[in-house]
Chain A
Amino acid sequence: MFLTVCVVLSLFAVQLLRLQALDASAMAKQALGARLVTAVVPALRGEILDSNGAVLAASVERWDIVVDQRVVRQWQRFEPDPKNPSLTRKVTLGVRDAAVLLAPLLGKSVDALSARLSGNSGYVVVAKAVTPAVWRAVNALNIGGIDGVRTSARVHPAGGLAAPVIGWFTADNRPLGGMEAMLNSQLTGKDGSITYERDPSGRQIATGEIASTPAVPGQNVRLTIDRDLQWKAEQALGAQVKATGALSGTAVVIRVKDGAILALANAPAFDPNATGPSLGANLRNRALGDIYEPGSTGKVMTASAVIEEGSVTPMTVFAVPNTLTRAGRVFHDAEVHPLEKLTFAGVLAKSSNIGTMMAGERVPAATIHDYLARFGIGQPTGLNFPGESQGILAPADQWSGTQRYTVLFGQGLSVNAVQAASVYQTIANGGVRMPPSLVEGIQRPDGTLVPSPARKGTRVVSARTARMVVAMLEGVVSNQGTAPEARIPGYRVAGKTGTAQRYDGACGCYRGYTGSFIGLAPADAPQLVVAVTLQRPVKGYYGGTVAAPVFRDIMTYALQALQIPPTGAISPRIRLTPVGG
């Protein structure tokens, strides 16, 4: 008896020795490992704000509800015994009961949920990106096999507003376009982590080990876009694209003094909250990614060049014939007319191709090319916007015989809408071209702004030339010009229509038109440039009738919203026809 006790006790002693002395550290580690948990603290992506700090895109906490299908089908819980209420009994529930409980919270039908919950998979996402409140309610149900995964979602409080500027993501949440891709490094934060000991109920143990690295949220970016103006531009443009049956349209609003883009509207655009293959064609920023031949709006560059070179003044008289043969091709104006005498201002106001050719051929082709390049044609805008196209401007020595003449009236070269607007910014800014910009700076958490580096302007033409060109452009919106529709009562408005033959990639030919109007106001102290372009409108196609009204709507609102009062000056009467002519 005594011996047995001795043996047993010594066995205990040996085991105790083994546990305490030999395996102690390993076992302690194992125990700690069971209590220790490391959780990733996800960093939220920075916000994209408009120029006034209103949120255009923000990241918020969301939860994916996931299920282990093998666990949920044998889900059990204790319920009060109906026979003896003081006792509880184990009740086996399952997929159906879980679905009934979850359906109202997740806003799905019981049948759809049941289908999702049943199977043999260990990990199936039941609902994506639900709000924290919904997740908390789901978690409180304590359904076996149901778990939550913390994620974040990009929300756009203003809906599809400025979506082509803000950008979009791939299906696996990589930024693919717009500011989201362009400023990804600034917007992306750094995930943190937290390691702590917890008890079986998930509570942190007070005296336990704890180590944490805080998450660093992404930086907030402030754009030059004005949310209200952007909305107005999108509304006016969208309505006109619909009304004219156009394929697409763009509207650009640029602040003259610094080249800041205040609105960049695309139609049709896309809804960033929707997904699907139908979005594909619209997942781009047409104003920067699509190029087209500008047509008559390009004539201001010719006008600036010939005036700057001293070959022509606004009062130079041209006898404009109905047709003109150059490089073996017969050129026409938009409509048949007898030989008419026009001043150069009249040529521009009536948008005569032949008059522009007669003025432009007084200056060598290489010089014209230089001016076009300095106006930014065929050059990157400097925005570095993803998917941007810099347009096409062939070197002067590669111009075909007719191209030397077509570039004078804006055909045979192509631009994007921002480049086209930037030309008018240059003229409006006294001949100094400010590279367009979209990012105002980084907004610190305390609300202060770290501005983007200042950009340097380049002089393209003299202030005197710019003034003359603006004065001529005022003639365009006169009763005798092509765009009286662009007039805004009380203001001096200058601008130019464009009705260009549109190159259709589908047939490799010219088919349909590009109708545009680019204008500035107030003409005697320009502050804003608005450029409206409609691609292939079918109910009307002249720039003066399809685009000018949109210009007027947007400019009227912009002058109001940005509180730009009229200067009170009266437009000088510019002679469009020679004295006695």
Chain B
Amino acid sequence: MSQTLAAGSGPATSRGASAASATARPRPRGPARAPRPSLRVVAAPVSERSRSLFVGGCLALLIGGLLTLLMLNIALAQGSFRLHDLTLASRLLTDQAQALNEDIAVQAAPAQLAKKAAALGMVPSGSVAFLRLSDGKILGVATPAAAPKAPTVSQTTPNRATTVSPNGATTPNPTSTAAATATSTKPSPRTATAAPTAVRTAAPTPSKTKR
């Protein structure tokens, strides 16, 4: 545009022309003032080449941009697919972890532990004793545990005690408990030796019944 302007009203606008054209011109004007056509000849090929370059560049940029956008979109979509899959996998694993934790909690419940311990031939201890490490002293009274048949005391004592008044009941009670401990101490070695054998023989049977 500036070119056509300069060609149409050359000298008249030399002063009033934009600062841009003023700075662009000084060189050709300097060496030769008279031959004007030469200006045209030089300008034409330059503008032709730069235009095609410009158009080519624009096209390349456009195509490149579109391609990049396409790649980006593909990447995003792929990421979205992957995210979807991974989210599913993560949910699956979370569910599995939750189910396993539930199982552990159920197995760790006291009732389950007691049942398993009983199956292994273990019995609850009926007495409390501590071993003090500093001097090796035994605190409390340790007695061998006997295999209990449900509530041991309540089955034997109430019928005896209820026949007698509470005052009178105090006298037979110690003998009954003494008898209980006496009988419990005697068979306990037997139960203690019986327990491991029971475990040994019992161990293969569940595996047989299972499979």
The total number of A-B Cβ pairs within 8 Å is: 158
Give Cα A161–Cα B125 distance, bound, in whole angstroms.
Answer: 22
Contact (Cβ within 8 A) A61 B95:
yes
B127's partner among A489, A544, A549 (CB-CB below 8 A) is A489
The stretch of B18-26, B146-154, B200-208 that contacts the partner chain: B146-154
CA distance A490 to B140 in the complex (A): 4
For B98, list chain A residues within 8 Å (CB): 60-61, 132
In the bound complex, how far is the Cα of B98 from the Cα of A94, in angstroms? 35
Hey, which chain B residues are within 8 Å of A235, CB to CB?
Answer: 114
Q: Is the CB of B139 within 8 A of A540?
A: no
B113 to chain A, nearest CB (A): 9
Q: Is the interface of B mostly helix, strand, loop or mixed?
A: helix
Inter-chain contact A546/B158, CB cutoff 8 Å: yes
Q: Which residues does chain A contribute within 8 Å of B54, judged by CB atoms? A: none
Instruction: State whether the Cβ of A20 lies closer than 8 Å to any Cβ in chain B.
Output: no
Query: In angstroms, how far is the closest chain A Cβ from the Cβ of B78?
Result: 9
Complex alpha-carbon distance, A499 and B158, angstroms: 14
With CB as the reference atom, state the residue of chain B lying closest to A131: B99
Q: A549 near B154 (CB under 8 angstroms)?
A: yes
Contact of A544 among B77, B130, B139, B166 (CB under 8 A): B166
Do B173 and A228 touch across chains, with their CB atoms under 8 A apart? no
Residues of A within 8 A of B130 (CB): 563, 565-566
A489 and B174 in contact (CB under 8 A), knowing A204-B80, A350-B167, A482-B166?
A: no
Which stretch from B32-40, B44-52, B101-109, B188-196 is at the chain A interface?
Answer: B101-109
A489 in contact with B141 (CB, 8 Å): yes
Q: Is the CB of B102 within 8 A of A60?
A: yes
B residues near A565, Cβ cutoff 8 Å: 130, 132, 139-140
Tell whether A158 is near chain B: CB-to-CB under 8 Å: yes
Whether, in the assembled complex, B177 has its beta carbon less than 8 Å from a beta carbon of chain A, the answer is yes
Name the contact of B106 in the complex, choosing from A157, A482, A497, A557 (C-beta under 8 A). Answer: A157
Known interface pairs A243-B155, A337-B167. Does A484 touch B174 (Cβ–Cβ under 8 Å)?
yes
Write the nearest CB–CB distance from A574 to chain B, whole angstroms.
Answer: 15
Per-residue CB proximity of A355-390 to B under 8 Å, as 1/0?
A: 000000000000000000000000000000000000
In the bound assembly, the distance between CA atoms of A550 and B154 in angstroms comes to 9
In chain B, what residue has the closest Cβ to A132? B95
Q: A490-B140, A539-B158 are in contact. Are A205 and B167 (CB under 8 A)?
A: no
CA distance A484 to B166 in the complex (A): 11
- A231-B77 CB under 8 A given contacts A131-B99, A243-B155, A485-B157: no
User: Which listed residue (B110, B150, B177) contacts A158, Cβ 8 A?
Assistant: B110
Q: A60-B102, A158-B105, A206-B76 are in contact. List 14 more A-B contacts (CB 8 A).
A: A136-B95, A158-B106, A207-B76, A230-B110, A350-B167, A479-B171, A482-B167, A540-B157, A540-B161, A542-B162, A546-B158, A556-B128, A559-B128, A565-B132
Chain A contact residues, CB within 8 Å of chain B: 54-55, 58, 60-61, 131-133, 136, 155, 157-159, 161, 203-207, 227-228, 230-232, 235-236, 239-240, 243-244, 334-335, 337, 350-351, 479-482, 484-485, 488-491, 497, 499, 539-542, 544-546, 549-550, 552, 556-557, 559-560, 563, 565-566, 568
